[in-house]
Amino acid sequence: MMRAVTATRYVEPLRSGGSVPGVVEADDLGTYVVKFTGSAQGHKALVAEVIVGELARALGLRFPELVLVRFDPAIAAGEPHQEVRDLHSASAGVNLGMDYLPGARDLTPDIAKVFPVDPLEAGRIVWLDALTANVDRTVHSSNLMVWPTSGTVPPRLWLIDHGAALVFHHRWDTTTPGRKYDFRHHALGQYGPDVRAADAELAPRVTRELLRAIAAEVPDAWLAEDAGFATADDVRDAYVDYLLARVRLSPQWLPTDFPSGAELAAEEAARAARTQAARPDWLKRVPDLHGKPAAEQDWSAHLG
């Protein structure tokens, strides 16, 4: 079961995502990134975070611990932005926290150029995303962190942010568990992900018992807005049934078509050229002030 903690200090908001999560310290002395129940994405984003995140952990992928965070908006009374204060006011009570990874860095395209990922590890992550219909792990928004970034422990990939997964639960179309999604531009596609080996390894481990245990972690209140079901347990059963049917149909949706690094670079160059051509003449003359990405300069020291 997920642990429950109480937020004792509000540190700062994170504006990198549309849900504006916040960093908090809690009474267990831990630091967490909290996704709030009052965000525009609603409870289903939190349900997806729990189900996909806990499934990732059960399958041996690196994913920060999730906790239930009791949040009193009074601890963030000093937040200067009204829209963030409104979010806090709408989120009093139990929210979802993810263990904070200090110093972690996003797997950006620049870092990906020099950061090695084993094809089987890449395949496992792609397989999980394909199973759970996670359409938000692309070359432009990887939702992958590299951590730790200092010390003697080598950096590893950590999965985060699965609120956009389980797209089927927004309309509960239970007739298409074998549906194929376009994963050609997955963040790890350039690593040659061995999804067939991942399927052979992971599919047998996704059992009804495992899915039931994971679905039981979701608070009843986060399932109550699904008006098409009589009880929270009925909603849990729907998640279990759909994912179990989907894993059994993996030959139908297994993604295998990924552009190479060179093809991705060519696509990006073409996109940049189209963007440049669409700019007014005065903007075309503005020099590139960014230079070589710092990530490309710094990361070789961490890779041995």
Nearest-angstrom CA–CA distance, 35 and 20: 8
Give mean pLDDT, residues 167-171. 93
- What's residue 286's pLDDT? 60
Q: Of 36, 66, 99, which one is at a domain's C-terminal end?
A: 99
Do the domain assignments include residue 43? yes
Residue 67 scores a pLDDT above 50: yes
Range of the domain at 238: 105-253
CA distance readout (Å), 120 to 44, 75, 104, 117, 130: 30, 44, 23, 8, 15
In the predicted model, what is the mean pLDDT of the chain? 91
- Tell me which amino acid residue 265 is: A
Q: What are phi and psi of 6, to 5 degrees?
A: -115, 130
Same domain membership, residue 29 and residue 167: no
Distance of CA 160 to the CA centre of its chain: 4
Same domain membership, residue 16 and residue 43: yes
Do the domain assignments include residue 259? no
Same domain membership, residue 129 and residue 35: no
Same domain membership, residue 83 and residue 23: yes
Do the domain assignments include residue 285? no
Residue 273 scores a pLDDT above 80: yes
Q: Of 84, 99, 114, which one is at a domain's C-terminal end?
A: 99
Give mean pLDDT, residues 53-76. 98
Give mean pLDDT, residues 221-225. 89
Nearest-angstrom CA–CA distance, 155 and 302: 7
For the chain, what percent of residues have pLDDT higher than 90?
77
Same domain membership, residue 34 and residue 129: no
- How many domains would you assign to the chain? 2
What digits encode the pLDDT tens for the residues 134-164? 999 999 899 999 999 988 999 999 999 999 9
Same domain membership, residue 186 and residue 121: yes
Same domain membership, residue 153 and residue 58: no
Q: Of 56, 78, 99, which one is at a domain's C-terminal end?
A: 99
Question: pTM for this one?
Answer: 0.89
Do the domain assignments include residue 78? yes
